[in-house]
Amino acid sequence: MSLMELIADKHLDRGLHVPEHKDLTSGLPIRRLPFAPMLVVPLSQHAGTPAIPIVREGQEVVRGEPIAKAAGFVSVPMHSPATGRVAKIALAPTARGDLSMAIYIAPYRAASQEVLYGAPQDIGHMTPEEIVQAVQNTGVVGLGGAAFPTHVKLKVPEGKKIDTVVVNGCECEPYLTTDHRVMLEQPAAVLHGARIAMRALGAPKAVIGVEDNKLDAVEALRDAIDAEAARGLTGITVESVPAKYPQGAEKMLVKVLLGREVPSRGLPADVGLAVFNVATLAQIGELLPVRQGLIERVVTVTGPGVRKPGNYLMALGTPLRWALEQADCSEQVSSVILGGPMMGPAVGSLEIPVTKGVTGILVLTHEQVNGHSRIYPCIHCAACVDVCPIHLNPSHLGMLARKDRYEEMEAEYHLMDCFECACCSYVCPSHIPLVQYFRVAKQMNRERKARA
């Protein structure tokens, strides 16, 4: 526990301080990337059912035009990121390592980045149901990385009541600065999105949680809140909380901000809350009034492996290779990671496109990723126990995993509450890949249940 935490009344009691490396990009304004020669739009960029294509190969599409429709409620449509031609509908590599169907769009050579598709709509007179439908039409999903369809969370579950909308501006992963820049550059859009969410959910209040390493963003949001207050709009507050990983996990943030604990295997709605990422709300705030679809997002391209790091606004479907060329990738690349270094997957191919859930492209060189460190036996030092934000016992879980006692891990040691923040692996002096053991254990249990 640091001195700051003793003073601050709201703080995360576990977790840890990871070197942030955010200064590489936190001061760089959002800049637009040109279109790649080929954009690859996967039909499954979100949690839920893949979208269904509504275009044919060879068809011309306009930037912003729907090219795939939602397949049910827990699904979202896709929109063309550029004006061009549908080159093919075929398999494309994904960050998971497998292949999935995608629409390949070849932008016209002089295609403009201006969005001409769309029409104004009056949100003020919409019912909550209409807002949910309108948000689904934008194709917006959780932009903080989870990529869960946002409109699903805007629908109040049966028998529940939402009193507060929690807006997550923590961005606790090292290196990432997209949310930071969005809050700084588009505070009004964030607030507008928050108001739409409050209306849909019938929540009178919204609170924005921002870590104290982004105080300029807190200032920007406060100014925007004051400007709204002058117009008679109230109910939104912003709070800064001491920076600590993994505060950006929604379960952690609601505990810190409001002192409420989401029940094990439950949802924030169970305690009257709905949690949204700031960038998600900013997109809703911008897209909904003009009835447009999500076609681009801000991605932090950073790490020691790129010479021109930055916060780039890039078309969805931009292949990683193109993005890295624009950021001037160095020769010493050893891994390319989608998202932050604590939870983000390393990719096996640079042909993978940027999708809605990609917050960052982190390029590490051999200096950061130094060989396979030697794994020692667990010495029960309890470092993992002291950092686990869920208060699990990773040491014991790891020992059970080594003996393939997966069922016991779930039944007696709360394996399913682990959200894989990787704090335990980070601190382990024996270099035991604890979180990887837990991923395997969860998968084995899922497979066993599927067989049963």
Partner 1 sequence: MSTAATTVIEVRTAPHLHSGRSVDQIMRHVVYALLPMCFYSVWLFGISAAALIATTTAACVLIEHWSCRLAGRETSIGDFSVVITGMLLGLTLPPGLPLWMAVVGAFIAVAPGKMTFGGLGFNVFNPALVGRAFLQAAFPAAITTYTPAMALNRFSQFIPTSLATPFLKAAPLKDWIAQVRVDGFTGATPLMLQKFEHVTTDPWTLFIGTRAGSSGETSALLILLGGGYLIARKMMDWRIPAAMLLGALLTGGAYYLSNPVKYPSPLFVLFSGGLMLGALFMATDPVASPVTPRGMWIYGLLMGLITVLIRFEGGLPEGVMYAILLGNALSPLIDRLTQPRTYGEGKRMFAKEATTR
Interface segment toward partner 1; rule CB under 8 A; list 72-80, 164-172, 221-229, 424-432: 424-432
Residue 368's CB: how many other CB atoms inside 10 A? Answer: 15
Dihedral sign, CA of 321, 174, 31, 83? Answer: positive
Does the footprint of partner 1 cover residue 448 (CB under 8 A)? no
Which C-beta is closer to partner 1: that of 192 or that of 255? 255
Q: What is the DSSP letter of 268?
A: G
Under a CB-based contact definition with an 8 Å cutoff, are residues 78 and 51 in contact?
yes
Q: How far apart are CA 240 and CA 432, in angstroms?
A: 34
Least distance between partner 1 and beta carbon 352 (Å):
11
Q: Which of residues 86-105 bind partner 1 (CB under 8 A)?
A: 97
Which residues, 6 or more positions from 232, have their beta carbon under 8 angstroms from its beta carbon? Answer: none
Interface segment toward partner 1; rule CB under 8 A; list 42-50, 128-136, 195-203, 362-370: 362-370
Q: Which of residues 32-91 bind partner 1 (CB under 8 A)?
A: none
In angstroms, the first-to-last Cα distance of the chain is 45
Q: Which of residues 314-353 bind partner 1 (CB under 8 A)?
A: 321, 324-325, 329-331, 333-337, 341-348, 350
Q: Which of residues 200-259 bind partner 1 (CB under 8 A)?
A: 251, 255
By DSSP bridging, strand 52-53 and strand 66-69 are: antiparallel
Interface segment toward partner 1; rule CB under 8 A; list 1-9, 25-33, 222-230, 435-443: 435-443
Interface segment toward partner 1; rule CB under 8 A; list 184-192, 283-291, 308-316, 361-369: 361-369
**Sheet strands (E) in 94-181:** 99-107, 164-169
DSSP output for 384-398: HHHH-TT---HHHHH
Least distance between partner 1 and beta carbon 395 (Å):
5
Under a CB-based contact definition with an 8 Å cutoff, are residues 310 and 327 in contact?
yes
Candidates 96, 97, 143, 113; CA nearest to 39 is 113
Q: Which of residues 399-418 bind partner 1 (CB under 8 A)?
A: 413-414, 417
- Applying CB under 8 A, among 2, 127, 234, 264 the residue interacting with partner 1 is 264
Does the footprint of partner 1 cover residue 144 (CB under 8 A)? no
Distance set, CA 17 to CA 8, 14, 242, 342, 436 (Å): 16, 10, 10, 12, 21
Does the footprint of partner 1 cover residue 174 (CB under 8 A)? yes
Interface segment toward partner 1; rule CB under 8 A; list 71-79, 149-157, 274-282, 364-372: 364-372
Which C-beta is closer to partner 1: that of 148 or that of 419? 419
How many residues of this chain bind partner 1 (CB under 8 A)?
72
**Sheet strands (E) in 329-441:** 333-338, 360-365
Least distance between partner 1 and beta carbon 250 (Å):
12
Which C-beta is closer to partner 1: that of 187 or that of 319? 319
Instruction: Return left, alpha or beta for 66; rule: phi > 0 is left, psi -120 to 50 is alpha, else beta.
Output: beta
- Applying CB under 8 A, among 213, 395, 401, 410 the residue interacting with partner 1 is 395
DSSP output for 74-137: S---EE-SSSEEEEEEEEEE-TTSSEEEEEEEEE-TT--S---------GGG--HHHHHHHHHH
Interface segment toward partner 1; rule CB under 8 A; list 61-69, 77-85, 208-216, 386-394: 386-394
- Applying CB under 8 A, among 160, 222, 439, 442 the residue interacting with partner 1 is 439
